Structure 1
Amino acid sequence: MVNAAVIILAGTESHADTGRMVNGLEAAREFAANEEDDLEFIFDGAGTQWIAELEDEDHDYHDLYRSVQDEASVCDYCASAFDVDDAVEDQGIVRIDENEGHPSIRSLVSDDYEIITF
Structure 2
Amino acid sequence: MTNAAIIILAGTESHSDTGRLVNGLEAAKEFADDPEADLELIFDGAGTQWIPELEDEDHDYHELYQSVSDDAAACDFCAGAFGVDEAIDDAGVVTVDDNDGHPSIRSLVGDDYEVITF
- With the length of structure 2 as denominator, give the TM-score of the two structures: 0.98
How far apart, CA to CA, are the structure 2 residues paired with 1:43 and 1:18? Answer: 13
Find the counterpart in structure 2 of residue 116 from structure 1.
116
1:63 and 2:63 matched: yes
Provide structure 1 residue ranges, at least 5 long, that are not aligned to the other structure: none
Letter in 1 for 2:53: E
Alignment of 1:51-90 (within 5 A): 51-90=51-90
Instruction: Please say if residues 28 and 41 of structure 2, whose CA atoms lie closer than 8 Å, have aligned partners that are also in contact.
Output: yes
Instruction: Please say if residues 41 and 73 of structure 2, whose CA atoms lie closer than 8 Å, have aligned partners that are also in contact.
Output: yes
Q: Secondary structure of the residue that 1:95 maps to in structure 2?
A: strand
TM-fit CA distance, 1:90: 1.1
Provide structure 2 residue ranges, at least 5 long, that are not aligned to the other structure: none
- With the length of structure 1 as denominator, give the TM-score of the two structures: 0.98
TM-fit CA distance, 1:35: 1.1
Paired residues in the alignment total: 118
Letter in 2 for 1:99: N
Residue-by-residue CA offset, 1:40-89 (whole Å, 9 max, x unaligned):
11000000000011111111001100111111000000000001112111
How far apart, CA to CA, are the structure 2 residues paired with 1:31 and 1:78? Answer: 25
Residue-by-residue CA offset, 1:3-24 (whole Å, 9 max, x unaligned):
1000000000000000000000
Alignment of 1:20-59 (within 5 A): 20-59=20-59
Letter in 1 for 2:89: E
How far apart, CA to CA, are the structure 1 residues paired with 2:29 and 2:70? Answer: 11
Find the counterpart in structure 1 of residue 15 from structure 2.
15
Q: CA RMSD in A?
A: 0.6
Identical aligned residues as a percent: 74
Residue-by-residue CA offset, 1:84-117 (whole Å, 9 max, x unaligned):
1121111111110000000000000111110000
How far apart, CA to CA, are the structure 2 residues paired with 1:41 and 1:66? Answer: 12
List structure 1 segments (4+ residues) > 3 angstroms apart after TM superposition: none
